[in-house]
Chain A
Amino acid sequence: MNFRSSVEIITEWDIVAARQLGRNEAKKAGFGTVDQARITTAISELARNIYLYAGKGKIEIERVSEGGAFGIKIIASDEGPGIPDLRKVMEDGFSTSGGLGAGMPGVKRLMDEFKVSSEPGVGTIITTKKWLH
């Protein structure tokens, strides 16, 4: 039941591959066009953050079910520098790269569940879910 597919993020093109995979999985799982766009956008943000800040990492996409609810889970993991201040990166507009600083807070709003664990020098794991309503 637990289909899991993953994309290694190493080059910029892998960001495109990850979001295409995400859109396909979201479509297959039965999400409508707006949720497909939300999931695709969230994956794009997470994959780009891996590429920009950690150099490389992985996006995994998995179908999940919990107490009769069905959905999709995305795990973005890397062994990069980690995030020193988790509260700061969740603020709209906070960026260390001259970006819009929209990625992290945006993903949290686009998805239903969002969890970050990060340790400086070890890496970052972000887990986020979207439920079919």
Chain B
Amino acid sequence: MNARIPILKLNEVLIVSIQWELDDQTAIQFQEDLLNKMHETAALGVVIDLTPIDFIDSFIAKVLGDVINMTGLMGAKVVITGIQPAVAITLIELGIRLNNVMTALDLENGLDKLYKELEA
């Protein structure tokens, strides 16, 4: 049950689509895999799509927040896409703000936003 989250490369951008509920191990592994892949490919941006995710707790929120900060440190831009209404509501009620991150409704809009940001 410890499958890794696939990270795809498209030109200078990495695309991650999280397809199933994250357990702690998978989340930590993902953090490491993404940073390594960014280093290898010298990617300029990352889109993380959370469409199928139906809840986020404080642990996963922390991992996600750390990923966003680390990606920023490595000089890349991050867009988070597909946050469901129920997830947005519970995150705010938990008291969690994902600061300094661009968001978009879906993967397509997220990629658009990222490319515009990279051109600017």
Which A residues contact B (CB, under 8 angstroms)?
12-13, 15-16, 19-20, 23, 33-34, 36-38, 40-41, 44-45, 48, 92, 99-100, 102-103, 105-106, 109-110
- Give me the interface of B with A, judged by CB distance under 8 Å: 1, 21, 23-25, 54-59, 61-62, 84-87, 89-90, 93-96
A109 CB contact (under 8 Å) in B21, B25, B58, B93? B93
User: Could you tell me the dominant secondary structure of chain A's interface residues?
Assistant: helix
Q: In the complex the two chains form, is B90's CB within 8 Å of A102's CB?
A: no
In the complex, chain B residues whose CB is within 8 Å of the CB of A23: 54-55
Asked if A103 and B55 sit within 8 Å, CB to CB, the answer is: no
Shortest CB-to-CB span from B108 to chain A, Å, is 23
Given A33-B84, A37-B55, A45-B58, output 6 extra A-B contacts at Cβ < 8 Å: A33-B86, A36-B54, A37-B90, A38-B89, A102-B94, A110-B94
19 contacts between A and B (CB under 8 A): A12-B24, A16-B21, A23-B54, A34-B86, A34-B90, A37-B84, A38-B93, A41-B56, A41-B90, A45-B58, A48-B57, A99-B59, A100-B58, A100-B61, A100-B62, A102-B61, A102-B96, A106-B94, A109-B93
Q: From known contacts A19-B55, A44-B55, A109-B93, infer whether A37 and B61 are also in contact, taking CB-CB under 8 Å.
A: no
Known: A33-B54, A41-B55, A100-B61. Contact between A109 and B24, CB under 8 A?
no
Most buried by B among A38, A41, A102: A41
The distance in angstroms between the C-alpha atoms of A92 and B61, with both chains bound, is 15
A40 to B84, CA, bound (A): 15
Contact of A12 with B93 in the complex, beta carbons under 8 Å: no
Residues of chain B contacted by A16 (CB below 8 angstroms): 21, 23
Q: Assess whether A48 is in contact with B93, with CB atoms less than 8 Å apart.
A: no
Residues of A within 8 A of B89 (CB): 34, 37-38
Asked whether B57 lies within 8 Å of A44 as measured between CB atoms, the reply is yes
- A41's partner among B21, B24, B94 (CB-CB below 8 A) is B94
Q: Considering residues B23, B57, B87, which has the most beta carbons from chain A within 10 angstroms of its beta carbon?
A: B57
Q: Is the CB of B85 within 8 A of A15?
A: no
**CA distance in complex: A99, B81 (Å):** 24
Give CA–CA (A48, B86) in the complex, Å. Answer: 21
Q: What is the bound-complex CA distance between A40 and B89, given in angstroms?
A: 13
Pair B62/A12 contact, Cβ less than 8 Å? no
